[in-house]
Each structure stands twice: as C-alpha cells, then as structure tokens.
Amino acid sequence: MGIPARTIAVIDDDLRVTESLINLLASCGYKAEGYYSVEQFLDSGGLQRSSCVITDVEMPKMSGLGLLHHINNTDTPLPVVIITGKPSEKSESFYLEKGAVGFFRKPVDGDALVDLLKGVCKGLASG
C-alpha cells in the first residue's frame, strides 16, 4: 500500500467558488478537496491530507485568518493562499506578513493562482 496522494484543500463557504477552484486545479493536474468551513476541514482530517491550503477570509465561526494562524502554529505548517471577495482595509501585505504565501481578490485570477501553486506546491501536479 503506497503513501496517499497529498492534496490542495480549498475552503470557502460559497459552493460556487469552491467547485470552480476545484475544477480549475483538477484541469491543471492537481488533486483538490473542497470544504465549506474551516471546522469541516479540521474535523475531517483535511489538515493531515493537505500539502497546501486555499482559504476564504470571511467565513462563519473560524475565519481564514484564524486558520492561517492555526496552521502556522502546527509542527508542519503548510503554504496558505488567502482569497477574499469582501473589500477590507487589510491588504495583500497584511496577509503575507501573517504568513500567507499568496493573496487573491475574487474573482480569482486562475492563471496567477496556478502560477503561484507551481512554485509552492512542487510535485503535486500529476500532469
């Protein structure tokens, strides 16, 4: 029995965004799993299965920023990409200073996201 493939976790409470990003990643050869809350991601063991996380900022209960803080305080921190559709006084530099590897406003520029992932998720694409 081999080692299970690592995945990119996509976390957004908007089903359309989650599905769209999963489809984009799959079309580029990545294995992706979707979650509709941070709690669902953590409770289902998603953190242990993932090599990279793409998360929305504004979600019920724990936010994407809370997840970023949680991941950065684990024994094996993962690259985290922050996405948001809400205007905020917090800019890209704020999230990068907090430890994110990337920041995108919705609608997410798919080409730019995939280019970023090529650098931070080396070896995950199957194509």
Assess if residue 97 is contained within a domain.
yes
Joined tokens for residue 55: 């998360």
The rounded Cα 29 to chain-centroid distance in angstroms is 16
- Read off the DSSP letter of residue 54: E
What average pLDDT does the structure give for the chain? 89
Q: Which tens digits make up the pLDDT trace of 4-35? A: 456 999 999 999 999 999 999 999 989 999 99
C-alpha distance from residue 121 to each of 9, 29, 88, 99, 104 (Å): 12, 12, 28, 16, 17
What range does the domain containing 63 cover? 7-120
Residue 62, pLDDT > 60, answer yes
* CATH number of the domain where residue 63 is located: 3.40.50.2300
Give the C-alpha separation, 29 to 75, whole Å: 28
Assess if residue 11 is contained within a domain.
yes
Assess if residue 125 is contained within a domain.
no
Assess if residue 1 is contained within a domain.
no
Please tell me which residue, 45 or 126, carries the higher pLDDT value: 45
Global model pTM greater than 0.85: yes
Instruction: Label residue 120 by pLDDT band (50, 70, 90).
Output: confident
The total domain count for the chain is 1
Instruction: Label residue 121 by pLDDT band (50, 70, 90).
Output: confident
